[in-house]
């Protein structure tokens, strides 16, 4: 039990310009794939954070004008007054739960491709658009800059009318004009908006002054600013121009929201930045330079670290995006001393991958994230069962653990049987790989809770068979038996022409590596999965002393990790470890001492000497038990998680959660309702 008052410092109100936050927990702006496309879902998701105790709940970068059109991504949109009602849904819902609502106004310059609006792309200087499209951005002339200021001011007024309490000027992530004007490599102007720092900062200053003049009587005006590009002398550094910017603007904003650039640095994964508070070294000077409150981020989940950062005068507000996604009730749990109940973010960036694909947010740790409106899910509350049943869950991977926990929370008597010595399934195995240690939290959180519950029995080393299930006599059975990696080389690109694998070849699967059966010598890792695992396995093998060749039909290593903002680091790490990377190559054949590769474009073959190969292609579902149980006439028999469809850990947790919620519901109703949709209005 936490002693009273230990974290009380975190629950002091803090003034921000004309408004007051009820405590120090501040959900900084973050994208969520809901935005203007799904405003009711956005409102409900943000309101859940407010209910969970966050004092400030921000939306996400919000386009202020059609020249900042981020389509097809669903960010915020406030082009004109017709966008106000959708945003008001959020402010009202957030206010209702006692929090302040913040809006991150943004003009994205060459980061906005204006694919829907077909407006010209604006930038400080003539340049290629940020993404690969065949249109360039044009340097803004004075009239463009005057327009931009007018658009920003008008958007601030609309934000105030929509009910926002805090209005942002956004100069970070390379994504907005204020930041782009600040950085010399993006701004080669020779007028008063280019050249000296004072000139490059002029636009930010003007936007701040004009936003304050427009709405500052009612709304606080925040500046989100990236103090350091993390490029050393090749970029803006906190100790030099980063500090100078804060000195020059000092008390002009009502709040400083400080971080590092770009987004992959700001939202670094635990795989590459394992430590909580990884931005603190860069931002700790800010409070010495301004008298205004400061918020910073860095995957904070430890309340002791939070208290120490406030006490040391580093931060006034504990900022969070991902920790608030993984646990919207983090502040409430700290306030009530329920520290053990915090669902800690594992820093996997699956949440980010949804935004980068333009689909609704999801979270590995919190399966209810993004489902607040469309399914009515709450992260802390699950409806009790109308009648209590005995339930058997087979397999204690992420799907089995989550379903067992939620079934028990609904009041059922749960038996959880696992073949292995320890619960955790793939989470436990993958978390042993380099950089993935934090992923264990997915299992640990659930195991901790299951162990507290009187209506749960957990049996390890208990491989279930159809016979042992029959002997148990439990008629509601969930099979979460997972999947195993196949060893025949068949996968995404080799279906038509599977590789010829000699009987003498030494073939390993990812399961072998994770179970500690390691090859030696010259090892080829063949990645036709193209998600994340092969890259981690190659790293593990290189660290174990193997001479690793990484082969993939893809044009980069682990292409999925582009969506989690990690790809460049993944590839750089393999290069640093001396891994020989061969992209655009398909596995054609495998012999005892060599591997035959075919160019994916020309079909031309080449041979490489190797002693063993690790084939990372596809998984095969473990369905034998489920098939055998079909004959038993059980009242409930449901296959869940990777056994029903291999995917991410997030998918397995989600499937487990869904199964527990649906248990006992009328199947026809589930089929009919599916989930609520925000159907596009036909009104003009
Ligand atoms: P998921 O991601 O769907 O949860 P995992 O592969 O992580 O799947 O976990 C599946 C778990 O199920 C593994 O820990 C495995 O040992 C266990 N398991 C598989 N078959 C049985 C069985 N017949 N009896 C008990 N446990 C099983
Ligand atoms: Fe954290 Fe991963 Fe959830 Fe994102 S998806 S909030 S990184 S646990």
Cβ of 350 less than 6 Å from ligand 1: no
| Structural domain count, the chain | 3
176, HSE (Cβ side, Cα atoms, 13 Å): 29
Question: What's the CA-to-centroid distance between 366 and ligand 2, angstroms?
Answer: 8
Atom of ligand 1 nearest to the CA of 483: 6
The predicted structure's pLDDT at residue 131: 84
Atom of ligand 2 nearest to the CA of 347: 7
Give the residue from 620, 638, 663 where a domain finishes.
620
Cβ of 425 less than 6 Å from ligand 1: yes
Question: What's the CA-to-centroid distance between 243 and ligand 1, angstroms?
Answer: 52
Q: Tell me the CA end-to-end span of the chain in Å, nearest whole number.
A: 57
Note whether 215 and 286 are same-domain residues.
yes
Query: Does residue 24 lie in a domain region?
Result: yes
- Are the C-beta atoms of 415 and 459 separated by less than 8 Å? yes
d(CA 106, CA 60): 9
Note whether 257 and 236 are same-domain residues.
yes
Residue nearest to atom 9 of ligand 1 (CA): 397
Query: Does residue 627 lie in a domain region?
Result: yes
Atom of ligand 2 nearest to the CA of 350: 5
Query: Does residue 41 lie in a domain region?
Result: yes
Considering the entire predicted model, what is its pTM?
0.97
Note whether 346 and 415 are same-domain residues.
no
Cβ of 395 less than 6 Å from ligand 1: yes
48, HSE (Cβ side, Cα atoms, 13 Å): 25
Question: What's the CA-to-centroid distance between 324 and ligand 2, angstroms?
Answer: 9
Quickly tell me which residue has 């900042």 as its tokens. 68
Residue nearest to atom 6 of ligand 2 (CA): 322
d(CA 39, CA 41): 5
Query: Does residue 46 lie in a domain region?
Result: yes
Atom of ligand 2 nearest to the CA of 267: 7
Domain of 431 in residue numbering reads as: 390-482+622-672
Give the residue from 309, 338, 357 where a domain finishes.
357
Q: Where does residue 64 rank: exposed (0-12), middle (13-18), buried (19+ CB within 10 A)?
A: buried
Note whether 144 and 108 are same-domain residues.
yes
Question: What's the CA-to-centroid distance between 541 and ligand 1, angstroms?
Answer: 25
CATH number for the domain spanning 496: value is 3.50.50.60
d(CA 451, CA 460): 13
Note whether 409 and 498 are same-domain residues.
no
Note whether 335 and 233 are same-domain residues.
yes
Note whether 133 and 98 are same-domain residues.
yes
CATH number for the domain spanning 637: value is 3.40.50.720
Query: Does residue 684 lie in a domain region?
Result: no
- Are the C-beta atoms of 535 and 559 separated by less than 8 Å? no
pLDDT less than 50: residues of the chain: none
The predicted structure's pLDDT at residue 680: 79
Atom of ligand 1 nearest to the CA of 426: 7
Note whether 115 and 83 are same-domain residues.
yes
Query: Does residue 380 lie in a domain region?
Result: no
> What are 501's strand-pairing partners?
590
pLDDT tens for 247-293 read 999 999 999 999 999 999 989 999 999 888 889 999 999 999 999 99
- Residue 539 makes CB contacts below 8 A (sequence gap 6+) with 433, 434, 435, 573, 574, 577, 579
Nearest ligand by distance to the CA of 330: 2
Quickly tell me which residue has 């059609």 as its tokens. 66
The predicted structure's pLDDT at residue 683: 66
CATH number for the domain spanning 249: value is 3.20.20.70
Query: Does residue 575 lie in a domain region?
Result: yes
Cβ of 416 less than 6 Å from ligand 1: no
Residues with CB under 6 A from ligand 2: 322, 325-326, 345-351, 363-365
Among 364, 392, 393, 397, the mutation site with the greatest number of ligand 1 atoms within 8 A of its Cβ is: 397
Query: Does residue 383 lie in a domain region?
Result: no
pLDDT tens for 120-152 read 999 999 999 888 899 999 999 999 999 999 999
Note whether 647 and 608 are same-domain residues.
no
The predicted structure's pLDDT at residue 1: 59
Note whether 148 and 261 are same-domain residues.
yes
Spatial CA neighbour of 483 closest among 510, 516, 464, 463: 510
φ/ψ (deg, to 5) at 587: -75, 120
Note whether 143 and 159 are same-domain residues.
yes
Note whether 185 and 232 are same-domain residues.
yes
């Amino acid at each position: 039990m936490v002693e009273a008052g230990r974290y009380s410092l975190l629950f002091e109100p803090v003034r921000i310009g004309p408004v007051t936050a009820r405590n120090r927990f501040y959900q900084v702006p973050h994208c969520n794939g809901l935005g203007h496309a799904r405003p009711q879902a956005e409102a409900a998701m943000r309101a859940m954070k407010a209910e969970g105790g966050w004092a400030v709940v921000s939306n996400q970068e919000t386009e202020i004008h059609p020249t900042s059109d981020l389509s097809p991504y669903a960010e915020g949109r406030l082009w004109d007054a017709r966008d106000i009602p959708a945003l008001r849904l959020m402010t009202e819902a957030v206010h209702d739960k006692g929090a302040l609502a913040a809006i991150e106004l943004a003009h994205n310059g060459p980061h906005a491709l204006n694919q829907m609006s077909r407006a010209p792309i604006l930038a400080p200087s003539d340049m290629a658009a940020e993404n690969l499209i065949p249109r360039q951005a044009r340097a803004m002339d004075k009239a463009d800059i005057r327009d931009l200021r007018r658009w920003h001011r008008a958007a601030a007024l609309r934000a105030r009318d929509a009910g926002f309490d805090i209005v942002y000027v956004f100069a970070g992530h390379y994504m907005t004009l204020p930041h782009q004007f600040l950085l010399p490599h993006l701004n080669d102007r020779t007028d008063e908006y280019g050249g000296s720092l004072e000139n490059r900062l002029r636009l930010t200053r003007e936007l701040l002054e004009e936003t304050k003049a427009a709405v500052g009587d009612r709304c606080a005006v925040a500046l989100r600013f990236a103090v350091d590009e993390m490029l050393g002398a090749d970029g803006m550094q906190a100790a030099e121009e980063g500090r100078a910017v804060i000195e020059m603007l000092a008390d002009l904003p009502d709040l400083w929201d400080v971080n590092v650039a770009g987004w992959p640095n700001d939202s670094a994964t635990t795989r590459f930045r394992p430590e909580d508070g990884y931005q603190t070294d860069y931002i700790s000077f800010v409070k010495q330079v301004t008298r205004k409150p400061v918020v910073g981020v860095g995957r904070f989940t430890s309340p002791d670290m939070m208290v120490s950062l406030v006490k040391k005068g580093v931060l006034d507000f504990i900022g969070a995006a991902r920790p608030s996604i993984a646990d919207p009730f983090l502040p409430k749990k700290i306030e009530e001393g329920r520290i053990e109940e915090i669902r800690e973010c594992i820093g996997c960036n699956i949440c980010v991958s949804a935004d980068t694909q333009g689909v609704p947010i999801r979270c590995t740790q919190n399966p209810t994230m993004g489902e607040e409106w469309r399914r009515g899910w709450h992260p802390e509350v699950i409806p009790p069962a109308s009648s209590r049943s005995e339930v058997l869950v087979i397999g204690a991977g992420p799907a089995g653990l989550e379903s067992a926990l939620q079934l028990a929370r609904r009041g059922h008597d749960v038996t959880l049987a696992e073949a292995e010595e320890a619960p955790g399934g793939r989470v436990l195995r993958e978390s042993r790989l380099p950089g993935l240690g934090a992923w264990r939290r997915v299992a640990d959180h659930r195991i901790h809770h299951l162990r507290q519950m009187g209506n749960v029995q957990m049996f390890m080393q208990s491989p279930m068979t159809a016979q042992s299930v029959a002997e148990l006599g439990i008629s509601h059975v969930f099979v979460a038996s997972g999947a195993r990696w196949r060893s025949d080389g068949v996968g995404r690109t080799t279906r038509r022409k599977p590789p010829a694998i000699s009987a003498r070849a030494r073939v390993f699967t990812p399961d072998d590596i994770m179970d500690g059966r390691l090859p030696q010598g010259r090892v080829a890792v063949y990645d036709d999965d193209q998600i994340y695992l092969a890259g981690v396995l190659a790293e593990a093998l290189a660290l174990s002393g193997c001479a690793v060749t990484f082969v993939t039909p893809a044009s980069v290593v682990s292409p999925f990790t582009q969506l989690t903002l990690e790809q460049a680091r993944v590839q750089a790490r393999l290069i640093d470890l001396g891994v020989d990377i061969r992209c655009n190559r398909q596995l054609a054949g495998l012999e005892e001492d060599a591997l035959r590769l075919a160019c994916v474009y020309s079909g031309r073959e080449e041979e490489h000497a190797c002693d063993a190969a690790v084939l990372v292609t596809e998984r095969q579902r473990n369905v034998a038990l489920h098939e055998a149980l079909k004959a038993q006439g059980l009242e409930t028999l449901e296959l869940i998680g990777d056994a029903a469809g291999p995917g991410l850990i997030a998918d397995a947790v989600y499937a487990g959660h869904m199964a527990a919620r649906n248990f006992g519901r009328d199947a026809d109703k589930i089929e009919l309702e599916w989930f609520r949709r925000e159907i596009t209005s036909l009104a003009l």
